[in-house]
Structure 1
Amino acid sequence: MLHFFRKILFFSLLISTCGCSGQPGPADVDIIPESTDASPAPDTHHEDELAVFEQNLIDDYQSVLGKMENATRYQIDLQIADTVSDVSGHQEVLYTNNEEVPLDEIYFRLFPNISGLILTVTNLTVNDTQLPAILTNKDTAMRVDLPEPLQPGEQTLIAMDFQQQVPRAMGGNYGLNIYMDDILALDQFFPIIPVYDEDGWEVQDPPINADMLFADEAFFRVRVNAPAGLVLAGSGIEVGSTNGDQRQEVIYIGGPQRDFFLAASPRFESVSRKVGGTTITAYFPGEYRQAGNLVLETAERALNSYNDRFGAYPYIELDLISTPMNAGGMEYSTATSLSLRYFDADSDAANLTFLEAVVAHEVAHQWFFNQVMSDQLQEPWLDEALVQYATYLYYVDRYGVNNAQGFVQSWYQRWANVDQAPIPIGKPAGAYTREEYGPIIYGRGPLFFEALNETMGEASFNRLLSAYADQYRWGIADSQAFTELAQEICDCDLSDLLAHWVKE
């Protein structure tokens, strides 16, 4: 996620890029009409082979599916009512115990409940045995007590119904789950299983800062039934659809990925472009075509930059979707949402400048969030600060080192909001005050990576980022893994650097 620092960024980048002939504007592209051709819906039974997900991946990554037979599988039937803000669904989850110990319980996160008891669960069963849904952690987690312990390697089928009335005003978690301005944004709208590690299930109470998803890679089949007038956009790829006068049905598959995001609006138009084996699509209200074109152009440049630096983007689609929110943008698997307010270039000239930074930032999360997951609550620097530095590398690759310095200056200016206090970047998100979190993680944090680059040397640092993405792709990494890899690559001791920047 990108938090607000629009004014700082605008003035910093204006200094370094104004009048630069090497700074191209977004190219004009044609609006792509939404298809209304009906196609048959595929079978969606759990016993289907994972081979069906090959069509979601570029050729070089399809072989990974053979190593993921035990990944969690979600099958979701989602109903969007004619009111649009009322959604309900049925979910079946095939879960394998990949741990070394028996499990007596399985947790799900109910993230919409950060804004109150919005997401409710009924008809919970485990292998057809009815069980109560036990809410914990301020109603943002649900504990499922298993009828008998699930042994390592064993599978269980958990089914449930869920429903929520999506808020029509900005609430908790940056207002990401919302229906406003005729745009529906379904942020983690379904119960999702968190990571289980040496500390048990990761179900901390939500802090005021940071993103909360901490989940293993999984596979998703989602059947959406919605009003016919809505344009749907979200994670994964569309593999089937039917269209009637009043209702439509669209089937998506996605994986391996961390989550599933969906947005819908009658206002959406789209522009698309192919980059290698990936189709990038930007969705936006039709009156914001200039911003939509900029989003597409920026995403193309960012994807090319990160493909070269971190390894090829694995999926055949990447969607960038304008939605209302109280943040700059939010990352999801194979999709990002971008704050609608920054699509309006007429109301503020700085909006498009900031929008470019948001797009580059959120595209970088497709590597450092979706492919390489880390605990965003315990170690937010390893996610957000690294992505801030990756965004700087986008500016370097597109505009050159000198013109990228404006983005670096925005870090210092943001850090100045806490008087450039040497607060460690390695604290848990909840250990920062609301005033400290942004300046330290998004301001001081990327400056650590700049110092790491200088200490290791540029060639070694570039190898580090590539190796980090490659070794932990579709896995879980932590700060220890990152620093050990850095020291191995540079053959150096980084203890003093870590003590100065990261550790308390």
Structure 2
Amino acid sequence: MTDVLNPAAIKPARLTALITVALWLMVGCNFVRTDAVAATSTTVRVIVATNAESPQQIETSSPVPTLNAAARTMQPISTATLAATNTPSTNMLTEDGCEASAGQPGAAHIVTADVDYAAHTVRVDHRVHVINRTNDLLADVVLNIEPNRWAGVFMLESVLGTYNGNPFVTAYEATGRRLRVELAAPIEPGCGVELQLVYVLQIPPVGQGVSSLTGYLGYTARQLNLGHWLATIAVRRGSAWVSHDVAQIGEQIVSETANWDVTFNVANAPVELHIAAPGRLERPDGDTWRFVLIESREFSASMSDQFNIIAQESTSGTMIEVYTFDDAVINTANGVIDGAAHVLLIASRSLSMYSDLFGEYPYERFLIVEGDFSDGMEFSGLVFVGRDWFRTFTGEPTGYLTIITVHEVAHQWWYARVGSDQAETPWLDEALATYSEYIFFEEYYPALRDWWWSFRVGTFVPADFTGRRVNSTVYEFSTIREYINAVYLRGAQMLHALREDIGTDPFFNWLHAYSQAGAGRVVSPDVFWSLLTDEQRELTRETREAYLSSVLAGFP
């Protein structure tokens, strides 16, 4: 994510015919935060019957936020009686009943989303195949549902689960963004279950001020955005699932990579509607869009009938598409100022440059969407750049349209490629994305290097900075400004100091090695620091002590 307060396609070598098969045969690594979540005012627990009777609903307080929180109750779930000959073991799901799963990534999501564009509602039928990639038995599966952090946005209708065709969910409990699904028997490592969720989203209007920062899930008169709208499998760390507390500062999302097959059926929309979304696109008919995106942290989309679209192939072979509104191009007395064309140029350059430095960008397409809200936001294969940066563009690279575009492109490596805990260790993606801005200016606008340090960093971080350390969590800040200064900007200063400590070539070799080591994973700072040699650890000791807290794990 970027700073509002500052003045799949896959490569052709993979065959489409294999994608659909692979979508059902996968799952990712492990990482987490807490075991049990205490019941809150948004907790509902449903016990699923194992016969034709309706399930038993236990409201520990009041219903999960819904379309009508005052009146709604959970929908009954009936399941067929399990045949005695096909009933799974009451002890565990054993490897004898598992399909081969070695080498399969993440989880596989197949989503059908019925969108009423005029009403701003989405009904989601969401099937996900989950494989136990841990070394332990799993008695439950936890999903994170980001839309449920806001009241009136998310309504859960049902949760079903099957194993070998038999019902296998005994109960589920929703508390805020966390949905815990209890299984009839523990799953052994390498085995998997299929869950089916049905839920409805009432997309909220994009707010003002701080509320506009989450406009990636919201609508305006000219745009409907679906970012972090689908349930994801929580990362598992040790013996617990990661579901972080909600905070207004930064993000609190941790996601493994997964495969996504998403079909939109759109009603009550203008005929000129465009859907900006990553992945390989199919159009079975005029009202249906299907996207397939492989090994992605999530799946996002933006819809509008007012998009102006331009595209260009980068030198690295990626098709870059820019979706903007009329205000991205400004007519002045001195001529036309074309922000859309500038973003296309900057994105093409930075995507190719980062591919050379950090590793190949994995998809055939990369999308930049003008967000009708104040900020930038990263997703796998798609990023938003806020409207204000287009409106204030002067035609020169010295401004936030360049900075924010480059920052969001960099997140395709520091977030989408290398995953980290955005709540506990936000510097691992934000500091690296911010310093990647400087690397871009250093290469393409070397005369503006000092300007970048002064404008981007020096404006907010004085020489006698007394804020928190770079490796602070999002929960340690009371304002967004404090968070950005400490994590983004001081983080960039730290990385530059580390570069001076060990030399430019070893520094970029280090970042490349980190990108390779963390690709497709969720990593901790230990992975980052472990790639230094003993000599480099000693050379960087003073810098690390100056910028980081003394409790950082893995330090000598």
- 8 Å contact 2:234–2:255 — kept in the other structure? yes
**What amino acid is the match of 1:222?**
V
Deviation at 1:489, TM superposition (A): 8.0
Which of 146, 150, 159 does residue 196 from structure 2 map onto? 159
Deviation at 1:342, TM superposition (A): 2.0
**What amino acid is the match of 2:274?**
V
The reply on whether 1:423 has 2:468 as its aligned counterpart is: yes
- Tell me how far apart the structure 1 counterparts of residues 22 and 485 of structure 2 sit (CA, whole Å): 48
Deviation at 1:173, TM superposition (A): 5.6
Counterpart in the other structure of 2:391 = 344
Counterpart in the other structure of 1:2 = 2
Counterpart in the other structure of 2:294 = 255
Which of 256, 269, 284 does residue 242 from structure 1 map onto? 284
- 8 Å contact 2:128–2:195 — kept in the other structure? yes
- 8 Å contact 2:215–2:225 — kept in the other structure? no
**What amino acid is the match of 1:369?**
Y
Counterpart in the other structure of 2:357 = 309
Counterpart in the other structure of 2:379 = 332
Q: Which moved more, 1:194-203 or 1:180-189?
A: 194-203
Deviation at 1:175, TM superposition (A): 2.8
Instruction: Tell me the TM-score normalized by structure 2.
Output: 0.75
Q: Residue 367 of structure 1: SS of its match in structure 2?
A: coil
- 8 Å contact 2:112–2:125 — kept in the other structure? yes
Which 5+ residue runs of structure 2 have no aligned equivalent? 8-15, 27-100, 330-337, 551-556
Which 5+ residue runs of structure 1 have no aligned equivalent? 8-40, 52-65
- 8 Å contact 1:343–1:351 — kept in the other structure? no
- 8 Å contact 1:319–1:336 — kept in the other structure? yes
Deviations along 1:98-129, one digit per CA (max 9) or x if unpaired, are 01111122111111223224112222101144
Higher radius of gyration, 1 or 2: 2
Q: Which moved more, 1:167-176 or 1:452-461?
A: 167-176
Larger relative helix fraction: 1
Please provide the CA RMSD for this pair.
Answer: 2.6
- Tell me how far apart the structure 2 counterparts of residues 96 and 133 of structure 1 sit (CA, whole Å): 18
Structure ranking higher on relative contact order (CA contacts 8 Å, 6+ apart): 1
- Number of residue pairs matched by the alignment: 447
- 8 Å contact 1:345–1:352 — kept in the other structure? no
Deviations along 1:280-321, one digit per CA (max 9) or x if unpaired, are 000011442421111111101111221221122121110001
Instruction: Tell me the TM-score normalized by structure 1.
Output: 0.83
- 8 Å contact 1:76–1:222 — kept in the other structure? yes
Identity %: 21
Counterpart in the other structure of 1:56 = none
Counterpart in the other structure of 1:385 = 431
- Tell me how far apart the structure 2 counterparts of residues 283 and 67 of structure 1 sit (CA, whole Å): 39
Which of 255, 269, 273 does residue 230 from structure 1 map onto? 273
Pair 1:141–1:489, CA change in 2 (3 A) = farther
Deviation at 1:146, TM superposition (A): 1.5
**What amino acid is the match of 2:368?**
L
- Tell me how far apart the structure 1 counterparts of residues 155 and 535 of structure 2 sit (CA, whole Å): 48
Deviation at 1:490, TM superposition (A): 3.4
Counterpart in the other structure of 1:25 = none
Counterpart in the other structure of 1:69 = 104
**What amino acid is the match of 1:363?**
V
Counterpart in the other structure of 1:221 = 261
Matches for 1:156-235 after TM superposition, within 5 Å: 156-170=193-207, 171=211, 174-198=214-238, 200-226=240-266, 227=269, 228-235=271-278
Q: Residue 533 of structure 2: SS of its match in structure 1?
A: helix
Matches for 1:99-498 after TM superposition, within 5 Å: 99-127=134-162, 128-129=167-168, 132-136=171-175, 139-170=176-207, 171=211, 174-198=214-238, 200-226=240-266, 227=269, 228-238=271-281, 240-244=282-286, 248-275=287-314, 276-289=316-329, 290-327=338-375, 329-345=376-392, 353-400=399-446, 402-409=447-454, 410-416=456-462, 420-434=465-479, 435-487=481-533, 490=536, 492-498=538-544
- Tell me how far apart the structure 2 counterparts of residues 472 and 462 of structure 1 sit (CA, whole Å): 15
Pair 1:302–1:223, CA change in 2 (3 A) = same
- 8 Å contact 1:74–1:94 — kept in the other structure? yes
Q: Residue 212 of structure 1: SS of its match in structure 2?
A: coil
Q: Residue 448 of structure 1: SS of its match in structure 2?
A: helix
Deviations along 1:356-401, one digit per CA (max 9) or x if unpaired, are 111100000001101100111101111101110011101111111x
- 8 Å contact 2:110–2:262 — kept in the other structure? yes
